[in-house]
């Protein structure tokens, strides 16, 4: 399988994540990239290629222009304002405040554009997000050109990023960018299947009113799991997109037997949808050893995940989402990909 990776994805090295009431070193760290690379190499999965540079056009195809400009300049403005630490929001246009004003100061705009506050903005954030999206675009381009599968080692991840919101460790929605890229290359309909432990709220939001991208997600029940405010089973899409969104929330503690039944349901739904490309938002934070998640998949289960995904028979691009600082993330990603190729 063709693999895409860029060292530039590692230039974001945040120091702080607000976790359980304390500022801790972020779970979403650049070491993840090396762990995944090592896992891919160990299993001899294929040639690792550098992505091409694709500029901002594919980003602006799914994200708001002012949001992208905010991300580009946030760190410089935050420093110029004299703040000591990393850029972390502490105020939002919450339910009883106005949501129609974008403040002038960077502290206000941080709250406007953030969906959560665990994710700080620091030096290298925009550059890493740009590299991550280049990896996604190059990977999907490979699939579109050859019909053969590709994996994009995207970092930072993307599926929480909405059209104008960052958070959940995500800035640009790599999966949405890839799906839109396929449509712009002439595909009629694309499926995004999100198997990360967390609901891919940004992907859902971006395509919620559209029927050219089907979005299916299997994730921890938002009633008890981040992102809490989206990802429920009754969210089925709206307008032209009515019926084009499928959420399969599962309780904490879910292991492979139950998880794979949900996967089969999602695959059957996608099969009905007559799609020409599959984008897999590949989080491996469903692993039992994941430090921030609550499912119970074992390493060998990831082989079976790959096999079942292959059963769809669609041209497929895999893009990395979550999966945190445990040695096994590389092995687990590699197992999905080798199961797919079997």
Catalytic residue positions, numbered: 160
Whichever of 285 and 301 has its CB closer to ligand SP5, that residue is 285
Is 112 in contact with 102 (CB distance < 8 Å)? yes
- 75, two tokens: 């760190």
As measured in angstroms, the least distance from the Cβ of 27 to Zn ion is 10
Closest residue to ligand SP5 in the complex (CB): 322
User: Alpha-carbon Rg of the chain, whole angstroms?
Assistant: 18
CA-CA-CA-CA dihedral for 303, 291, 176, 130, to nearest 10: -110
* CA neighbor of 335 nearest in space, from 123, 39, 77, 133: 39
> Residues interacting with ligand SP5, by CB under 6 A?
20, 118, 157, 159-160, 168-170, 196, 198, 226, 283, 285, 292, 321-322
Q: Tokens 């280049």 identify what position?
A: 134
User: Of 315, 314, 305, 301, which Cα lies nearest the Cα of 340?
Assistant: 305
Q: Which is nearer to Zn ion, 112 or 324 (CB)?
A: 324
Closest listed residue to residue 163, CA positions, set 209, 104, 214: 209
Number of H helices, E strands in the chain: 10, 10
* Residue 301 interacting entry, from ligand SP5, Zn ion, none, C-beta within 5 to 8 Å by type: none
Angle between the N-to-C axes of helices 328-341 and 31-42, in degrees from 0 to 180, rounded to the nearest 10: 40
CB distance 277 to 187 below 8 Å? yes
Residue among 147 and 291 whose Cβ is closer to ligand SP5: 291
| Residue 185 to residues 53, 110, 179, 270, 277, Cα–Cα distance (Å) | 17, 34, 10, 21, 12
149 vs 62, 119, 187, 270, CA distance in Å?
23, 31, 16, 18
Which residues have CB under 8 Å from 131's CB, separation 6+? 6, 8, 9, 11, 51
Residue 283 or 339 having the CB closest to ligand SP5: 283
Work out how close the CB of 319 gets to Zn ion at its nearest, in angstroms, rounded to a whole number. Answer: 13
Angle between helices 106-113 and 65-80 (to 10 degrees): 140
Task: Report, in Å, the least distance between residue 156 CB and ligand SP5.
Answer: 8
Nearer to ligand SP5 by Cβ, of 189 and 199: the residue is 199
Q: Shortest gap between Cβ of 317 and Zn ion (angstroms)?
A: 18
Nearest distance in Å: CB 281, Zn ion: 9
Q: How far is the CB of 330 from ligand SP5 (least distance, A)?
A: 16
Report the residue number, 30 or 156, with the smaller CB distance to Zn ion: 156
């Amino acid at each position: 399988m063709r693999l895409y990776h860029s060292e530039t994805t590692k230039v974001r090295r945040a120091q702080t994540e607000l976790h359980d009431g304390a500022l801790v070193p972020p779970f979403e760290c650049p070491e993840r990239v090396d762990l995944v690379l090592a896992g891919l190499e160990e299993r001899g999965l294929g040639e690792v290629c550098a992505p091409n540079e694709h500029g901002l056009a594919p980003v602006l195809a799914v994200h708001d222009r002012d949001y992208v400009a905010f991300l580009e300049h946030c760190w410089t403005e935050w420093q110029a304002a004299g703040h000591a630490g990393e850029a972390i929001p502490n105020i939002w246009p919450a339910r009883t405040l106005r949501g129609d004003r974008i403040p002038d100061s960077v502290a206000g705009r941080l709250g406007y554009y953030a969906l959560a506050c665990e994710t700080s903005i620091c030096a290298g954030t925009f550059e890493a997000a740009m590299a991550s999206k280049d990896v996604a675009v190059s990977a999907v381009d490979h699939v579109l050109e050859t019909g053969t599968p590709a994996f994009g080692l995207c970092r930072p991840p993307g599926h929480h990023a909405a059209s104008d919101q960052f958070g959940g460790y995500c800035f640009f929605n790599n999966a949405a960018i890839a799906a839109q890229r396929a449509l712009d290359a002439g595909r009629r309909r694309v499926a995004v299947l999100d198997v990360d432990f967390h609901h891919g709220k940004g992907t859902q939001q971006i395509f919620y009113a559209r029927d050219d991208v089907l979005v299916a997600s299997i994730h921890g029940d938002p009633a008890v799991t981040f992102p809490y405010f989206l990802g429920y089973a009754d969210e089925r899409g709206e307008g032209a997109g009515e019926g084009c969104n499928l959420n399969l929330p599962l309780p904490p503690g879910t292991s492979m037997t139950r998880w794979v039944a949900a996967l089969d349901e999602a695959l059957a739904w996608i099969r009905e949808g007559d799609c020409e490309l599959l984008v897999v938002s590949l989080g491996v934070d469903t692993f039992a050893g994941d430090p921030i998640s609550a499912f119970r998949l074992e390493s060998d289960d990831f082989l079976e995940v790959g096999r079942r995904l292959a059963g769809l028979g669609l041209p497929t691009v895999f893009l990395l989402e979550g999966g945190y600082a445990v040695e096994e993330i590389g092995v687990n990603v590699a197992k999905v990909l080798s199961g797919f190729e079997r």
